[in-house]
Structure 1
Amino acid sequence: MLALVLASNIQHRASRSRNNPRLTNLRRCPMHRSFTIVALMVLLLLLGLNRIGTAQAVYDTVSIYELQFVPDPDANDLSPRLGDTVVVRGLVMHYPRDLWVGARWAVYIVDPDSFPNPWSGFFIIQHDTFAIQTGMGFLEPGMICYFTGVVDEFNHFSQVAVLTNPPVPITIESAGNPLPAPVLLTADDIDNRADAEQWESMWTRVENATIVNNQVPGNWASFTDATGATAFMGEYFNWFRDRLIGGTYTWPAPGTNFNVNGFIRDEPSGYTTNPRDTLDLEILTNPPVISDVTRNPGVPTSSDAVTVSATIVDNGFVQSATVHYSVDEGAWQQLAMTANQDTFSAQIPPQSDGAFVRYFVSAMDNDNEVSTFPGDTSRATGRVFFYTVRDAGLTIEDVQNTHGYAADNSGYEGYEVTLQGVVMTDSTDEVGDFWIQDDAAPWSGIWVNNVPTTAVKGDLVSVTGTVQESFTVTRLDNVTNVSVVTPGVGEFPPIDVTTGAVTTGAPTAEMYEDVLVRVQNVTVTDPFPDGFPGFGEFVVDDGTGGVRVDDFFDAFSGQVAADTTFPQGAHIDYIIAFGYFSFSNYKLIPRDSLDVGPMTAIGEPLPGLPTEFALEQNYPNPFNPTTDIEYSIARAGQYRLEVFNILGQRVRELASGYHNVGNFRITWDGRDDAGNRVSSGVYIYRLSGRDVSLSKKMILLK
């Protein structure tokens, strides 16, 4: 009973500290801190957590540096101890419920002996919060602890997952230690993997920075500093995330100068610094705040002058406001905006049919501080507002094409449009939604969301709805009309593309969003890119770069299962799918199982747990056209099984990715990475990875 009372008391205090950012460990009174620490230690004893040393003794104790350091982050930034169970020591930097990690506990830690040197920050997470015996839920900033868990990676972000089955308690070495000052960095230090990886999970500070864009997708803000590099602030701490999503807080206006303290996180879209609360964000200047930029009409014709309006406020007064506009990529022109209280407006003159018009808004206050909206108007990293003048109605490309701007917002976001296209899916694929295309070309498709009307594949339809960005995917929502223009015109065929053209980071990936494409002769290179059992995704590669395949559609949902329906190394003749984007990755979403061509499964796990690495002789040998290769992995980690010709050129990657300890069999079908059959001759197959490099010869005879 006493243990429960103490646990409740500690959790109540932790909750209070989260809601009041001023109650951090550095600012709380010593008497309060001492009571909490004593209560926690009593609680741990009552829960039977005093057998810590025995539980941890069976695992290696390593430093944070040993978990983090990699010699070439661009080539491989995965922890060298990936998959190992280890014990690591660190100073807890905040409360375990401060972060947005769902129903989990997590803390950033730093090495109290080596911080602020590079590679001295790490991340600890506990997935099962019912296992309170670990003591993770009762940690406080300033505690130096030993954590026991498995080293893993979440989207290239290194972490230790605390052991919970059975629970291995955390050892508290000491408590009440002062938190260190953050290490001073620049935007240039965290704008790319080669520079930023050494600062992953570190407690850092950037000074004299300037907000570039306060509306980066994902509730981020971009900023720059004297180095000229662009970096990002994220909302990984609940204080910011809850308020940004709830609409009660926005990042400072573009042009704002500030200092920021935060923890560095490796995200699929870039590295972010993540402040804990507004006390970590020191505002140095306050330029005008521009919001609610609109145009009227939203879909202009050649007879329309377009009124651009914006709400602009300042802590002093707005001295001037300007609409900047450009026609057909011409020079930027300026229009002075007139004020009606906080609403400012100006008119862009009528333009000819087919003209492409870009625009943005700027403002200056009485201190001559300037802001723009959007904050970043460059093509390389930002966006502007735009529209195409159409007298005969918009095309889907008018709505989808981003015109080379990095931010992929539609120029018609928030406006009602009418589009025509051929129905490419129906209710047997996805209930309530359908996809239309008006051509077999890039930018030609769009998702029509939440429509009660039943659509028929192959019909040419007219759809009226509001353009919406759903987590950066453009779609039509709030649909008010769907009518058949011409029935039975037939679906457009898929566009043949390479996996490298539609994968994350490819400059062409966005143009295939919502467009039906086909990739051919692909190999499954990772059946669980998010770890086992995954989220219904796997990765395929035709040799040009891997792309995720997602079971988004109702008719395909469940096809990607934990029983490795698409096992590593399997060869798939083709996949027909729509381009899609979610959780920072471009993906392919097949409509149903008929969109996935014949598969040759060429890898399977075998029973038994080996104690040493082995690569067996292939059988049969010589062979034609297929042969089996068995190998054993004695230590979990990243491994590859590859086939080379006698010149040392790689012919085929049979397996690549994380392997658990086990015995495996893979069948090589005599094809190269492009799916072509190879000629007769001698080939070398090699197993490589941490602590192993084994090879053997085999002969293909035709």
Structure 2
Amino acid sequence: MMHRFTLLLLTLLISAAVHAQYPVVTIQQIQTLPLDSLNACNDLSLYEGDTVITHGTVVMNGGLAQAAGGRNLWIQNGTGPFSGIDLYTTGVPTPVPGTDVLDLVAGDSIEVTGLIATFGNETEIVPLNISVIDFGKPVGIQPIDVGDLNDANRVNILPTGEQWEGSYVEITNAVVTSVNFFSGNTRVSFDVADADGNVINISDRFLVQRLPAGGGSFVPPPVGARFDTLRGVIAHSGNGCTGGGGRGYEMYPFQESDYVIGFSAPIISNVNRNPVTPTSSEDVTVFASIEDPDGNVTSATLFYAVGVSNTSFLSLPMANTGTTYSATIPSTAFSDGDFVKYYISATDDSSATSTSPVDGQNQPYFFTARDNGLTIYDVQYTPFSNGFSGYLDREVTVEGIVTASAAAGDLGFVHIQQEGQTSWAGLQLVEGANLATLERGDKVRVTGTIQESFGLTRMSVLGDAILLSSGNDLPDPVEVDPNDFTTYDFALTERFEGMLVKLTNPTDGGVFVVEPNADGNNNFAEYRVGSDLLDPLNGCRVLAGRVTGTAFSSLNFSYVNDSTWISESGVINVPVCVVSAGDTLASLTGIMTYTFGNMKLLPRNNDDAEAFSGANCTDGITSVEDLLRSELTLFPNPGRTEINLQYGFDRPVRGTAELMDLTGRRLQRQALNGTQGTLRFDTRALPRGTYFLRVLAGDQLIRTHKVLLID
């Protein structure tokens, strides 16, 4: 104890000298943001980049975090809004001057001199000096609701959630909805939902949640387990309107007492039905595994209703063999085209009841009876605000017209659309064996598993897509007002996910680039196009020039929001124009997608930008399809001593022509300039055989010709 008092005296002397250099602010001052900033998706601290002095109570002992060598913890100034902050030692995790983070104890009152910085969307203070000025202070806990932080899709809600970033909080009555193992099954996080279906991830920032495979002793809760209370500090892994790809606001428990599992209701898992896609003459049997970890299941009931708006659910008792329960919805209850919804309820010998889904009456499972086969509409349509397909994780077969492809000069990703349908009709395809061979206008039949990828419904195709016909007319793009897509509105915008749409001005005045960067202090290659030139806050996000594991935009579209995207996340194949506020278009067409809480337009190539006029693109840009239609003639072929390439373009082009051998080695290269001309390749020194001549405009591959050299 005397040692700590001696340190306190020394600390006070050092503190007096430091105070003269940097401003002293409270944690609340660092963290508080105006509501209009949060509504505009801006959560950057007003002190970002500043070095400040602040005071707070240490929430947990040093050394408990799995990051920064344990030199990561949280401090807070009382409880209430904007009262906590992440203290993180960046770079090589070594002690900073003053007290080492590893020596701090929960309840220590400290003074921190540090730099205010942001990682992702998490505001941090990077310590330059830490001084203990008192100890034994109480650590407050703030009760909050999950719905303050995230919605049912785990998308962060900044206006009500940001105030709890960095705070030690408590949520109650939360049910585990998924358990997620990663890093080779050595780590785990899990999602929990409140009674309204709002979801938060419980992450393993601290050692308390380390699995035995990683040297810990944490036993993950099963899906369906109910926590009386969960406590932890709130971190911000931005998604939604922030443009980030994170998990929203998430919770970091740091001690065993933060997890309090309640008297457990039955756990319902592995819910399935047979058949998955029934006709009107087929009974539908619903199966589930139901167990009770601290008692016995006394009853299980299947509730079902026919019709979207029908709230009168009928009940069927579920019979069981061991832990497998089942009940059958009779085919006499529904007809062709009927929408059938259902959920399961189970009760144990302590009268505890659980349902699956958690909010079963309002967000149930469902299917549509079809005598003539399932449609894309059936896969996509949902009246329920979580946006999930009724065929999630199920294998289905549908047909559609390819509206975007992986062919040269196109979006780079495959989308299909149901003919004759103007809503709920588009679907992204991934992972199919022959998807790269499809072209726009192909009609295909595909079988695959329906997935939800960060809120986007898509199909993971099994095997090959079956080509039914080629050269079909594409569905006309649905014309929409870009301002309708400013924020995600389930009732207004979800129906266009995956569809070919055209952004137009409802007053026939054209559309405008109203905000070159839709993500504030971040940049995720998204800009905003709206129908009001003077309104930068309203309009549809446009994503272009960026390809990552969660961004599926085109590299054949010139109009991007920063020149860094030329080669930052994929190499753009066409000349680049950096958009600026005030640029105009008659219309902008593309595939409407959904990621991280926002609808976004994916233009496929330059033909999707109608009559673009901008300060940085005064000469216009040749479309990819124009280049692909250009006249290119190779002669003589077969040849021996020379090969000539004659070219003709509608407008001047700068490019190259390259003669390659079969291994891909470039043998000769010549510049291609202007609108027309002839290039001569001297082949006298080359052995006879097969070669290839590639023609590129900029970095865009326009054509590849096979060349034969003979005696």
- Which residue number in structure 2 is paired with residue 553 of structure 1? 553
Deviations 1:235-282 (A, max 9, x none): 244369987xx997356627x360222334566567665534653121
SS at match of 1:490: coil
One of 233, 241, 252 as aligned partner of 1:263 = 233
- Which residue number in structure 1 is paired with residue 154 of structure 2? none
Conserved 8 A contact 2:318-2:326: yes
SS at match of 2:29: helix
- Which residue number in structure 2 is paired with residue 309 of structure 1? 287
Alpha-carbon shift at residue 524 of structure 1 (Å): 3.9
Alpha-carbon shift at residue 288 of structure 1 (Å): 0.2
- Which residue number in structure 1 is paired with residue 114 of structure 2? 148
- Which residue number in structure 2 is paired with residue 695 of structure 1? none
List alignment gaps of at least 5 residues for structure 1. 1-29, 39-49, 163-167, 605-702
Question: Could you tell me how far apart the structure 2 residues matched to 1:430 and 1:242 are?
Answer: 45
Asked if residue 398 in structure 1 is aligned to residue 389 in structure 2, the reply is: no
Deviations 1:304-335 (A, max 9, x none): 11110000000211100111111124321111
Deviations 1:350-398 (A, max 9, x none): 132111110111100011100000001254xxx2111111111111010
Question: Could you tell me how far apart the structure 2 residues matched to 1:346 and 1:323 are?
Answer: 7
Alpha-carbon shift at residue 116 of structure 1 (Å): 2.3
SS at match of 2:463: strand
Question: Could you tell me how far apart the structure 2 residues matched to 1:519 and 1:99 are?
Answer: 48
Deviations 1:143-199 (A, max 9, x none): 6241422455955x6x1463xxxxx72333358655613134466876876665544
- Which residue number in structure 2 is paired with residue 370 of structure 1? 353
- Which residue number in structure 1 is paired with residue 368 of structure 2? 388
How many residues are aligned here?
539
Alpha-carbon shift at residue 410 of structure 1 (Å): 1.0
One of 341, 345, 349 as aligned partner of 1:358 = 341
Asked if residue 170 in structure 1 is aligned to residue 163 in structure 2, the reply is: no
Q: Give, as a single letter, the amino acid of the residue that structure 1 aligns with 2:354.
A: S
One of 593, 603, 608 as aligned partner of 1:580 = 593
One of 74, 77, 80 as aligned partner of 1:108 = 74
Conserved 8 A contact 1:211-1:252: no
Alpha-carbon shift at residue 592 of structure 1 (Å): 3.0
- Which residue number in structure 1 is paired with residue 139 of structure 2? 180
SS at match of 1:436: strand
Conserved 8 A contact 1:538-1:566: no
Q: Give, as a single letter, the amino acid of the residue that structure 2 aligns with 1:119.
A: F
- Which residue number in structure 1 is paired with residue 453 of structure 2? 470
- Which residue number in structure 1 is paired with residue 194 of structure 2? 223
Question: Could you tell me how far apart the structure 2 residues matched to 1:285 and 1:557 are?
Answer: 56
CA separation of 1:123 and 1:430: change in aligned 2, threshold 3 A: farther
- Which residue number in structure 1 is paired with residue 57 of structure 2? 91
Asked if residue 527 in structure 1 is aligned to residue 517 in structure 2, the reply is: yes
Conserved 8 A contact 1:525-1:539: yes
CA separation of 1:492 and 1:190: change in aligned 2, threshold 3 A: closer
CA separation of 1:276 and 1:58: change in aligned 2, threshold 3 A: same
- Which residue number in structure 2 is paired with residue 512 of structure 1? 496
Superposition pairs of residues 425-436 of structure 1, within 5 angstroms: 425-427=404-406, 428=408, 433-436=413-416
Question: Could you tell me how far apart the structure 2 residues matched to 1:202 and 1:325 are?
Answer: 42
Question: Could you tell me how far apart the structure 1 residues matched to 2:101 and 2:614 are?
Answer: 44
Question: Could you tell me how far apart the structure 2 residues matched to 1:203 and 1:139 are?
Answer: 20
- Which residue number in structure 1 is paired with residue 167 of structure 2? 202
- Which residue number in structure 2 is paired with residue 234 of structure 1? 201
Question: Could you tell me how far apart the structure 1 residues matched to 2:478 and 2:71 are?
Answer: 45
- Which residue number in structure 1 is paired with residue 46 of structure 2? 81
CA separation of 1:384 and 1:67: change in aligned 2, threshold 3 A: same
Question: Could you tell me how far apart the structure 2 residues matched to 1:320 and 1:53 are?
Answer: 69
List alignment gaps of at least 5 residues for structure 2. 8-12, 151-156, 181-188, 241-247, 505-510, 547-551, 566-576, 618-711
CA separation of 1:598 and 1:98: change in aligned 2, threshold 3 A: farther
CA separation of 1:304 and 1:189: change in aligned 2, threshold 3 A: closer
Deviations 1:448-504 (A, max 9, x none): 111231101111111122212223221111423422222111222322222333344
Conserved 8 A contact 1:52-1:169: no
Conserved 8 A contact 2:342-2:360: no
SS at match of 2:503: strand
Rg larger in 1 or in 2?
Answer: 2
One of 414, 417, 424 as aligned partner of 2:396 = 417
Deviations 1:575-615 (A, max 9, x none): 322222223333222223443455555699xxxxxxxxxxx
Conserved 8 A contact 2:70-2:102: no
Q: Give, as a single letter, the amino acid of the residue that structure 1 aligns with 2:318.
A: M
- Give % identity: 26
Alpha-carbon shift at residue 572 of structure 1 (Å): 3.9
SS at match of 1:488: coil
SS at match of 1:372: strand
Conserved 8 A contact 1:570-1:600: no
Asked if residue 591 in structure 1 is aligned to residue 604 in structure 2, the reply is: yes
Deviations 1:502-521 (A, max 9, x none): 34432222211111122241
Deviations 1:531-571 (A, max 9, x none): 35x33333333348244322323525894545586455242
CA separation of 1:131 and 1:388: change in aligned 2, threshold 3 A: same
Q: Give, as a single letter, the amino acid of the residue that structure 2 aligns with 1:482.
A: A
Question: Could you tell me how far apart the structure 2 residues matched to 1:90 and 1:517 are?
Answer: 52
SS at match of 2:273: strand
Conserved 8 A contact 2:227-2:259: no
Question: Could you tell me how far apart the structure 2 residues matched to 1:189 and 1:489 are?
Answer: 48
Conserved 8 A contact 1:433-1:450: no
Question: Could you tell me how far apart the structure 2 residues matched to 1:489 and 1:241 are?
Answer: 55
- Which residue number in structure 2 is paired with residue 607 of structure 1? none
Q: Give, as a single letter, the amino acid of the residue that structure 2 aligns with 1:405.
A: F
TM-score (norm 2): 0.66
Question: Could you tell me how far apart the structure 2 residues matched to 1:530 and 1:424 are?
Answer: 32
Conserved 8 A contact 1:107-1:125: yes
One of 482, 501, 525 as aligned partner of 1:536 = 525
Q: Give, as a single letter, the amino acid of the residue that structure 1 aligns with 2:130.
A: T
SS at match of 2:340: strand
Question: Could you tell me how far apart the structure 2 residues matched to 1:451 and 1:522 are?
Answer: 37
> Which sits farther off after the overlay, 409-418 or 547-556?
547-556
Asked if residue 452 in structure 1 is aligned to residue 433 in structure 2, the reply is: yes
Alpha-carbon shift at residue 210 of structure 1 (Å): 2.4
